[in-house]
């Protein structure tokens, strides 16, 4: 009850402070205009569907490529050393380049090469940039998960007569993926928001539609409508990631602290 009371009191103070501020009237007119919100919400929602499509398509590609990079980086075979070094260079480069800059480089640089088969759709080019960027991050998350599996697990699998491929498929990967689900969800929450960066290439996704309508009427309420749509998607994912993290902590406590070890 004390926590609820303090929270409600804090929110009331914030609302009173905002409403009583000198510029509240202009903020309400240009950012919280109900008429503008209802007028453009349908178009922005239609554009947001493109954001969702880009998010799902990129997520599938990132999961596959990220896991492949992680497996390459964790292998110890001498003959695969060039692949390991190439994967390490890829991660270093694409983790160091800002995602927005990468969208510009891919969106405008790749078509400029005029190579046969190069995609011309700004949506596809934007998705390629997002996949290149996030694969570097997700690959490192998967690698951390693979390294978190105790070597005794691999030794036990060999003792049972499992081959290297069977060990990886049935013993290592299930444990590694379970360990990294919460950080993976955090990366994909960021990916959902970063699909708005593709707006710089011109496709009519939520942010681009909001920008066009805001410039048309010189009113910024459409930006608020776009922000609310992203929030409606990211908050459930965030709470689910928190729940998985808390579940992992409880499981770890049960396996270690709860048993008295």
pLDDT at 224: 92
Q: What is the mean pLDDT of residues 187-205?
A: 91
Instruction: Residue 136: give the domain boundaries.
Output: 54-204
> What span, in angstroms and rounded, lies between the C-alpha atoms of 101 and 26?
34
> Greatest CA separation found in the chain?
75
Task: Give the residue, 203 or 77, on which the prediction is more confident.
Answer: 203
Residue 61: inside a domain:
yes
Residue 46: inside a domain:
no
> What span, in angstroms and rounded, lies between the C-alpha atoms of 48 and 42?
10
Residue 13: inside a domain:
no
Residue 163: inside a domain:
yes
Q: How confident is the model at residue 223 (pLDDT cuts 50, 70, 90)?
A: very high
pLDDT at 260: 46
Residue 242: inside a domain:
no
Which of 10-24, 230-244, 246-260 is least confident?
A: 246-260
Burial 1-13 (b: 16+ CB within 10 A, else e): eeeeeeeeeeeee
User: Could you give the C-alpha distances from 234 to 74, 140, 230, in angstroms and in order?
Assistant: 32, 22, 6
Q: How confident is the model at residue 174 (pLDDT cuts 50, 70, 90)?
A: confident
| Total structural domains within the chain | 1
| pLDDT tens digits, one per residue of 115-139 | 888 888 999 999 999 999 999 999 9
Q: What is the CATH number of the domain that holds 110?
A: 1.10.3720.10
> What span, in angstroms and rounded, lies between the C-alpha atoms of 118 and 130?
17
Q: Is the pLDDT of residue 48 over 90?
A: yes
Residue 127: inside a domain:
yes
| pLDDT tens digits, one per residue of 10-32 | 999 998 988 888 888 888 888 88
Q: How confident is the model at residue 167 (pLDDT cuts 50, 70, 90)?
A: confident
Residue 44: inside a domain:
no
Q: What is the mean pLDDT of residues 162-184?
A: 83
Q: Is the pLDDT of residue 229 over 80?
A: yes
Q: Is the pLDDT of residue 103 over 60?
A: yes
Please give the model's pTM, rounded to 2 decimal places. 0.86
pLDDT at 123: 93
| pLDDT tens digits, one per residue of 62-74 | 999 999 999 898 8
Q: How confident is the model at residue 248 (pLDDT cuts 50, 70, 90)?
A: confident
Computed over every residue of the chain, the mean pLDDT equals 88
């Amino acid at each position: 009850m004390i926590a609820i009371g303090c929270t409600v009191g804090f929110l009331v103070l914030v609302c009173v402070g905002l409403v009583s501020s000198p510029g509240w009237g202009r903020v309400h007119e240009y950012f919280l205009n109900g008429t503008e919100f209802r007028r453009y919400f349908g178009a922005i929602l239609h554009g947001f569907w493109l954001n969702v499509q880009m998010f799902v398509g990129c997520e599938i590609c990132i999961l596959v490529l990220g896991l492949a990079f992680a497996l390459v980086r964790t292998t110890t075979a001498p003959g695969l050393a060039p692949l390991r070094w190439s994967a390490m260079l890829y991660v270093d480069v694409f983790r160091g380049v800002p995602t927005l800059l990468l969208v510009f480089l891919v969106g405008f640089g790749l078509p400029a090469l005029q190579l046969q088969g190069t995609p011309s759709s700004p949506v596809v080019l934007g998705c390629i940039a997002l996949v290149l960027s996030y694969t570097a991050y997700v690959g490192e998350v998967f690698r951390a998960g693979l390294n978190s599996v105790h070597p005794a697990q691999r030794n036990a699998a060999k003792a049972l007569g499992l081959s290297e491929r069977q060990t990886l498929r049935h013993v290592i990967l299930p444990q590694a993926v379970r360990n990294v689900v919460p950080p993976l969800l955090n990366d994909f929450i960021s990916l959902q928001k970063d699909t708005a960066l593709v707006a710089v290439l011109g496709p009519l996704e939520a942010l681009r539609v909001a920008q066009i309508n805001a410039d048309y009427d010189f009113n910024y309420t459409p930006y608020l409508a776009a922000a609310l749509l992203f929030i409606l998607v990211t908050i459930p994912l965030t709470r689910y990631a928190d729940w998985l993290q808390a579940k992992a902590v409880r499981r770890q406590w049960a396996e270690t602290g709860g048993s008295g070890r």
